[in-house]
Structure 1
Amino acid sequence: MEYFKLLFSCSVGHLCKIVVRTILVIINNIYCIPTYVVWMMMIFPLKKYHPELYWKIEGHLFHWLLAMVSMWSWSAGYNIVELGDDIRPCLGERTLVIANHQSTADVPLLMAAFNPKKGVLPNIMWIMDHVFKYTNFGIVSILHKDFFIVSGKAKREESLQELVKHLRESYIPLHRHWMVLFPEGGFLRKRRETSQKYGLKNNLPVLQHVSLPRVGALQTIMDEVGGHPEKLANNNVHGAGSHSHHLNWVLDITIAYPEGKPIDLGCILTGSRQPCTTFLFYRVYPCNSVPRAHDAMTKWLYDRFVEKEHLLDKFYRTGEFPSGAMPPQEINQDTLRFVILHLFFIVSTYIHYQMLSYVISYFWLF
């Protein structure tokens, strides 16, 4: 792992910095995640009697928690530059986000990229590997109604049926906007060799910088909330908004790390790697442009990842992406907002501690 290689090559001063930063991140987790969970328990009655207010509060708390995650990469000097198509039409609209998957840093960096964009993180749904459920952040994703997908042939069909159920029971009624999917189904370093063998065997593209994507989840999503292309084409997609349960856009993000060397979560937590810049290249497609027939959809998705292969190959050689409607611009975070959110979580933790102490003392005396 990148983190361990960097750790053993660090100077004493840098190693001390890593230790201090790691302790601070752990403390940050301690006073943020439990606070989110306790607040959700306290407002739980609203879920039955005023669900709209409950989910609005939850969305804000979820956003604030993800802002803390955004702060980790930002404070370590891991900047993000976005470019390509203009994604403003996607804001506030039901949008499927697809991205290449290289490392454990992909999700935190996407969180950091989405954090300054109004209304995105409170109304987002992440589709992630079921293993994530058992991490410290798993309880947060469960309460937020993210979806945990199970990989592997044995569970594939069952997992896709669960996705259909989740879309019907959570994504649509909770008025979620963006839905994030990693079609490759795993990290590049784990999938590359298998993907290349599969490509050679089936006369498909043999890719180096991405792997061949899996179409199952995309097909399921499009069948369930993609709508009918003919009807969507006859409607004004720009005015459809979030009132429709159909997707309006597909946002294709190509994540490019400097020199093709991905940051990982360990680097983000410890700051062990030197500051660097990660690029996010955007392509935006109207949902009605995505074919619905299985073979045509498979080709469409493969074409997206072949394009990513070419984009990344050029970027790693030249450091450049094609020009687009949105010129390269660095994503800026709000320092004052981070300070205010820290104070909120710290004060909340103190309040919850006092409440818990009172309850324990009451029953102890009783």
Structure 2
Amino acid sequence: MAVTLEEAPWLGWILLKALLRFAFMVANNLVAIPSYICYVIILQPLRVLDSKRFWYIEGIMYKWLLGMVASWGWYAGYTVMEWGEDIKAISKDEAVMLVNHQATGDVCTLMMCLQDKGLVVAEMMWLMDHIFKYTNFGIVSLLHGDFFIRQGRSYRDQQLLLLKKHLENYYRSRGRKWIVLFPEGGFLRKRRETSQAFAKKNNLPFLTHVTLPRCGATKIILSTLVARQENGSPAGGDAKESIFPIKDVPLEIDDLTNWLYQRFIEKEDLLSHFYETGAFPPSKGQKEAVSREMTLSNMWIFLIQSFAFLSGYMWYNIIQYFYHYLF
């Protein structure tokens, strides 16, 4: 596609902004993640003396880190419209968030959506593919206590046992309340063909916008952590959220599988409606669907970014001082 002389300055400005944003993201990672690690290391005595307070402070720093990631899209002009039930109402309860997985951007979307839900992000545990352990954010997730799961039939039983042990060791002891789970087990584009073949073989609905979920991890989470009570278990799709009380969620494997299938069939219908009309259908009892625009506080972003860069500068000078002193 040819570029005219009139378009050249505009395209140049777009390219410059993209490069500046990328440079800021790199700098943000270089100061924020090492600073988080240094703070966690220096606070280890507090972990011994008062574990609850230590994990509270760690959770707040974790929330700030995810807020920084959310801010990259926010300052680029992106926002999220939330539909359905307001999950802020159960932000202090324990919950499992079942998310359909379109692409990597789902993670950033969740980071933005959940920032205004009290301490949800700070008290959250993510289940993610093991490959993310080797990304720039992997060390943060390891320290926070997120679980990295390896995909593949040959690893399935072993990974479920490891997940059960991980939940028993880290969920309660670190004050976690929410778990984010992608039951489909991968991106839509990678799983769709396999899911549709499985559906055809087992006389299940043919899904296009989501894939049939796997229930192994969900079963382990519920059987390990859940006591029969009234707290909710929110399941969200493309920023469309619904809340299901845990008493309504079956624990037997066959019933749970059917329940999960039904939730993702509902997601399929919701997304089909959204792609056709640009809006989700109204919930029961509503004549018209009402959306909520997700916003981030510019002042809050400025403060946490300032703290990150000042911390990075401080830790750099401290490490440099000890390096020259010792060597």
Relative to the length of structure 1, the TM-score reads 0.83
Counterpart residue identity of residue 346, structure 1: F
- 2:293 matches 1:330: yes
**Counterparts of residues 177-188 of structure 1 (less than 5 Å):** 177-188=177-188
| Equivalence for 2:3 | none
Instruction: Provide the rounded CA distance (Å) in 1 between the counterparts of 2:68 and 2:196.
Output: 38
Alpha-carbon contact 2:52-2:175 (below 8 Å) kept: no
Greater alpha carbon shift after TM alignment, 353-362 vs 185-194: 353-362
Q: CA deviation at 1:346?
A: 1.3
| Equivalence for 1:208 | 208
Alpha-carbon contact 1:84-1:322 (below 8 Å) kept: no
Instruction: Provide the rounded CA distance (Å) in 1 between the counterparts of 2:24 and 2:252.
Output: 50
| Equivalence for 1:69 | 69
Instruction: Provide the rounded CA distance (Å) in 2 between the counterparts of 1:323 and 1:314.
Output: 11
- 2:282 matches 1:299: no
| Equivalence for 1:264 | none
| Equivalence for 1:198 | 198
Instruction: Provide the rounded CA distance (Å) in 1 between the counterparts of 2:112 and 2:89.
Output: 20
Percent of counterpart pairs with the same letter? Answer: 41
Relative to the length of structure 2, the TM-score reads 0.93
Alpha-carbon contact 2:199-2:205 (below 8 Å) kept: yes
Instruction: Provide the rounded CA distance (Å) in 2 between the counterparts of 1:79 and 1:338.
Output: 15
Q: CA deviation at 1:226?
A: 2.2
2:278 to 319, 336, 347: 319
Alpha-carbon contact 2:37-2:140 (below 8 Å) kept: yes
Q: Kindly provide the CA deviation profile for residues 31-87 of structure 1, in whole angstroms up to 9, marking residues without a partner as x.
A: 111110111111112222221221111011111111101101111111101121132
Greater alpha carbon shift after TM alignment, 206-215 vs 345-354: 345-354
**Counterparts of residues 1-366 of structure 1 (less than 5 Å):** 11-228=11-228, 232=229, 237=230, 248-255=231-238, 280-324=239-283, 327-364=290-327
Match of 1:283, SS state, is: strand
Counterpart residue identity of residue 44, structure 1: Q
RMSD: 1.4
Match of 2:254, SS state, is: helix
Counterpart residue identity of residue 68, structure 2: M
Q: Kindly provide the CA deviation profile for residues 173-229 of structure 1, in whole angstroms up to 9, marking residues without a partner as x.
A: 22211110000000000001111111111111110000111011111111111224x
Which blocks of at least 5 consecutive residues in structure 2 are unaligned? 1-9
Instruction: Provide the rounded CA distance (Å) in 1 between the counterparts of 2:186 and 2:112.
Output: 21
Instruction: Provide the rounded CA distance (Å) in 1 between the counterparts of 2:198 and 2:248.
Output: 27
Counterpart residue identity of residue 304, structure 2: L
Match of 2:291, SS state, is: strand
Match of 1:11, SS state, is: helix
Alpha-carbon contact 2:63-2:122 (below 8 Å) kept: yes
Which blocks of at least 5 consecutive residues in structure 1 are unaligned? 1-9, 238-247, 256-279
